Chain A
Amino acid sequence: GEDVEQSLFLSVREGDSSVINCTYTDSSSTYLYWYKQEPGAGLQLLTYIFSNMDMKQDQRLTVLLNKKDKHLSLRIADTQTGDSAIYFCAELNTGGFKTIFGAGTRLFVKA
């Protein structure tokens, strides 16, 4: 079945790079997403990548996709305390109307 896995915690120092990793099982996924959740709020779309791409860069964010290994990563350059949040990896299923989420990675940024 469809499944998305990611580690639960990551701690970095302010100014360092953060790398959050994710693996998924549905090789037919068309889009893969990173959502960010701040305390007490809903999830907000951070960035996404289409399955025929292997990299996407958006300011401090770099998404890498290894489709052969079904591995997705999110790199945040120059991590700031405001980046502390839970980051969810997600895939859009082959039907195009259901999004499957990982458990979320809680990023702690130490000043």
Chain B
Amino acid sequence: NAGVTQTPKFRILKIGQSMTLQCTQDMNHNYMYWYRQDPGMGLKLIYYSVGAGITDKGEVPNGYNVSRSTTEDFPLRLELAAPSQTSVYFCASSPQSDRGQNSPLHFGNGTRLTVT
């Protein structure tokens, strides 16, 4: 009963380095999301996906890329890390629903990233 699993839990990057944040879910959810959480700012949507092979930009996509080759996995890639990307990153998933149906999010435990 794993739910949404994110790795790593913590990471320190130097400016200009690259990394991939991993996210996998075992609930067969079609919808997956990446959020970043900054203090006092709530959660901002980076990218989302409504199914395998389909991704779309959220509110703050610059500096990030995603892919969705399978239903289970939704990795987030940082190509050239910048200090502004220091944040806590949350992956989430929800079941597919027709408009008007309940679709609550299931979250992973987050990845705390520091760029120095």
Contact = CB atoms under 8 A, between A and B. Distances in A.
A24 interface: no
B108 A96 contact: no
A42 B102 contact: no
B43 A96 contact: no
A41 B109 contact: yes
B50 A97 contact: yes
A62 interface: no
A97 B103 contact: yes
B42 A42 contact: no
Contact of B42 (A31, A40, A44, A103): A103
Contacts of A96: 97-101, 103
Contact of B99 (A35, A43, A95, A101): A95
Contacts of A101: 35, 42-43
Interface size class of chain B, counting residues whose CB lies under 8 Å from the partner chain? 20 to 34
B103 A43 contact: no
Contacts, number: 66
Contacts of A94: 99
A30 B33 CA distance: 19
Nearest to A31: B102
Given A41-B109, A99-B105, A30 B42 contact: no
B112 to A, nearest CB: 9
Contacts of B94: 97, 99
Q: Which 5 A-B pairs have the closest CB atoms?
A: A42-B107, A103-B42, A96-B99, A101-B43, A45-B104
Given A43-B107, A99-B103, 4 more contacts: A92-B102, A97-B31, A97-B48, A103-B42
Interface of B: 4, 31, 33, 35, 40-43, 45, 48, 50, 58, 90, 92, 94, 97-110
20 contacts: A30-B101, A31-B102, A33-B104, A40-B110, A42-B107, A42-B110, A43-B43, A43-B92, A44-B107, A45-B104, A45-B106, A48-B102, A48-B104, A96-B97, A96-B99, A97-B94, A98-B48, A101-B42, A101-B43, A104-B42
Interface of A: 4, 8, 30-31, 33, 35, 40-45, 48, 50, 88, 92, 94-99, 101-104
